[in-house]
Amino acid sequence: MIHSKAMLLRTLCLLAAVSALLGCGTSAEIMRIRSLAGPAVDPADSSAISGRFEGIDRLAQSGLTGDVALLFVHGIGFTQLGVDAAGRPHQVGIDLAQAIASAYGHRDGGVKPLWQCPHTSDRDVTPHLAIRPGRVESLSADDPKRTIGSGEIGCIDRITVPRPGGGHVYVYRLFWDKTLWDAFEWPFVGYDDNWYNDPEERRDSPPLRAADNSRLKRMVVTYGLTDAAAYMGRLGRLMREAVEAASCAVIAEHTGAATRFAELDAAVGDGGTARSDQHVTAAQACTGSGAGDRSIAFGLVTHSLGSRVAFDVFTQDMTPALNSMLQRTANTTVEIYMLANQIPLIGVGRVAPETERATVVRNRALRIVAVSEINDLLTYELVPYFEHLYAYRCHSVFPAVGCNGDGEVEALRRKKLLASEDKIRNDLVEELGFDVVDVRVRFAPNFKGVFTPDFKDPEAAHADHMRHRAVVDALLCGVENGRTRPTPPCRPK
């Protein structure tokens, strides 16, 4: 019996060691690139590829100075202020800037904001640009005498990465999660939060939970799904307002229409005391005509829920003021690079009466680049999503104009057309008002502690895109005919 127990123990130790090894980082594989626009390819053929997009570095080349301004919109909170399984700070925005710096050959890789939002800094007062709502509302909770509201809806900081040969990549990080949590989410679920409360305020139930269950509830639900729930309700308007304000503020600064960020730079030089309380509303940030020097290119990098927010701002909820501001940009097509998008998932909560869907005529074309890890639990690829919506336009109690006969038969016919007719695909892109390029990747390691290769680390799959060179190269250098472009000259050898 003792011998059997010893053998069992050694076997379990061996399995644990193997599992730990399998949990180590893996290199990324770009599995497939496919676009909504033509040429038509059979979606069932995994070798069939298509699509193009410029990429961050080629966007920069379209400007007069070799500069590109990227607005980064983060996703659910745990991917911004937490740590990963290895204890490393897990901020997708920092990962993005560090990945670009490394790709450009900056050896230190230690990029950090010149000025930064207070909740990401170890200083009490830091220069930053706060975003305020155009109108502060008093909202009620389930206790009718407990009102909630906020005079701030976001904060922006900036990281500058020099480009080889001249120019810069300016990464502007928009933080909305801390404001949302403090003002609107904490009143509802904060009583169960056992992380940021003082020790003497420890709650009763969290310490009784199993450790892994407690962590999952805190990270996935308390700091995760609450953000999604908030966006699908009245608070979604404030989140969209923050993205609109940030977009306009960034474009205005680089095209001579505003000097807010220049004043923040001066505040840093003055020890962080001069004009460190800059703030702006969307209406203020987006004020101005379409005229400008058009010296800088503009794009967005979004993650998770942030992808849905940006998608709405630049499609169905685009305002005339933001549309006018886009005329100042050097690039004729705005590219949104979406990591782990939640477009279909959150779209369920964004349905609206047909009469509320406005047709948007943008001053700049729009291209969505969706980078999706195949094992990510929270994301869906977008080309098949829009193909699915198109194919089943007649499968409804309110069929689309031009539908005849059985909805299933019509869906089958439309699927065949999508797989064979370039014109059908290009017409669909024109109707939607944007193109979509799916970049399917695989990089998540096996989940540590699970003795099977069939369960991949869900947190890594959802948030580790910028830690893999193949993904970074694709976003930096772009894609042509369904293949990533060679890295030189967009990055040093």
For residue 451, what pLDDT is reported? 59
User: Which of 81-85, 253-257, 418-422, 488-492 has the least mean pLDDT?
Assistant: 81-85
Is the dihedral angle over the CA atoms 75, 77, 81, 84 positive or is it negative? negative
Q: Which residues contact 160 (CB under 8 A, 6 or more apart)?
A: 114, 168, 169, 170, 171
pLDDT at residue number 412: 93
| Rounded average pLDDT over 358-362 | 72
Grouping H, G, I as helix, E, B as strand and the rest as coil, residue 96 is helix
Which pair of tokens denotes residue 160?
């500058």
Cα Dmax for the chain: 84
Q: Indicate the pTM of the whole model.
A: 0.90
Q: What is the pLDDT of the chain when averaged over all its residues?
A: 85
Q: What order of strands is seen across the sheet that includes strand 128-131? A: 29-35, 435-442, 365-373, 333-339, 297-303, 68-73, 168-175, 154-162, 128-131, 277-280
Q: Which range has highest mean pLDDT (83-92, 197-206, 272-281, 415-424)?
A: 415-424
Rounded mean pLDDT, 369-384:
97
β-partners of residue 439 are 33, 371
Report the sign of the C-alpha dihedral through residues 30, 464, 75, 453, in that order. positive
Q: Are 309 and 283 in contact (CB under 8 A)?
A: no
Q: Does residue 291 have a pLDDT over 80?
A: no
Domain ranges of the chain: 26-484
More confident residue, 167 or 109: 167
Q: What pairs with residue 336 in β-bridges? A: 300, 368
One DSSP character per residue, 29-57 reads EEEEEEESSSSP--TT-TT-----B--HH
The pairs formed by 461-464 with CB atoms below 8 angstroms and a separation of 24 or more are 461/340, 461/373, 461/375, 461/376, 461/377, 462/79, 462/304, 462/340, 462/373, 462/376, 462/377, 462/378, 462/379, 463/79, 463/84, 463/90, 463/92, 463/303, 463/304, 463/340, 464/84, 464/95
Q: What are phi and psi of 121, to 5 degrees?
A: -115, 155
Q: Omega of the bond prior to 43 within 30 degrees of 0, cis?
A: no
As a whole-number percent, the residues of the chain with pLDDT over 90 amount to 55
- Of the pLDDT bands very low, low, confident and very high (cuts 50, 70, 90), residue 493 is low
Mean pLDDT of 414-436: 95
Position 34, amino acid: R
Query: Letter for the amino acid at 481?
Result: N
Interatomic CA distance for residues 473 and 443, integer angstroms: 14
Q: Which neighbouring-strand residues pair with 71?
A: 172, 300
**Taking Cα atoms as reference points, which of 237, 62, 250 lies closest to residue 174?**
250
CA Rg value for the chain: 24
Residue in 97, 98, 65 with CA at minimum distance from that of residue 166: 65
Q: Which two tokens stand for residue 357?
A: 């869907």
Report the chain's terminal Cα–Cα distance, integer Å: 61
Task: Give the tokens for residue 183.
Answer: 């003002």
Give the pairing of strands 82-83 and 89-90: antiparallel
* pLDDT the model gives residue 5: 44
pLDDT digits (tens, 9 = 90+) for 269-285: 655 554 556 899 999 99
N residues, the chain: 493
Burial class (CB in 10 A: 0-12, 13-18, 19+), 364: middle
Alpha-carbon separation of residue 21 from 316, 437, 457 (angstroms): 46, 34, 13
Q: In terms of DSSP H, where are the helices of 359-487?
A: 383-391, 407-418, 422-432, 458-463, 469-477
Q: Select the more confidently predicted residue: 417 or 454.
A: 417
Does the pLDDT at position 11 exceed 50? no
Q: How far apart are CA 485 and CA 488, in angstroms?
A: 9
pLDDT at 240 over 50: yes
Residue from 304, 384, 382 nearest 341 by CA:
304
Q: pLDDT tens, 301-340? A: 999 999 999 999 999 999 999 999 999 999 999 999 999 9
pLDDT digits (tens, 9 = 90+) for 146-160: 999 999 999 999 999
Average pLDDT (33-55) is 91
- Whether residue 403 has pLDDT greater than 70: yes
Phi, psi for 273 (deg, rounded to 5):
-110, -25
Instruction: Point out the least confidently predicted range of 106-115, 280-289, 457-466.
Output: 106-115
Strands 365-373 and 435-442: parallel
Return d(Cα 464, Cα 296) in angstroms, integer.
29
pLDDT for position 425? 96
| Residue 314: Cβ within 10 Å count | 25
Q: Which two tokens stand for residue 347?
A: 């779209």
Q: Are 134 and 281 in contact (CB under 8 A)?
A: yes
> For residue 460, is pLDDT > 80?
yes
Q: Which of 200-204, 242-246, 279-283 has the lowest mean pLDDT?
A: 200-204
Gap between the Cα atoms of 474 and 301, Å rounded? 13
How large is the average pLDDT for residues 244-251? Answer: 96
Q: What is the pLDDT of residue 87?
A: 54
Res 243: pLDDT: 98
Instruction: Give 489's DSSP letter.
Output: T
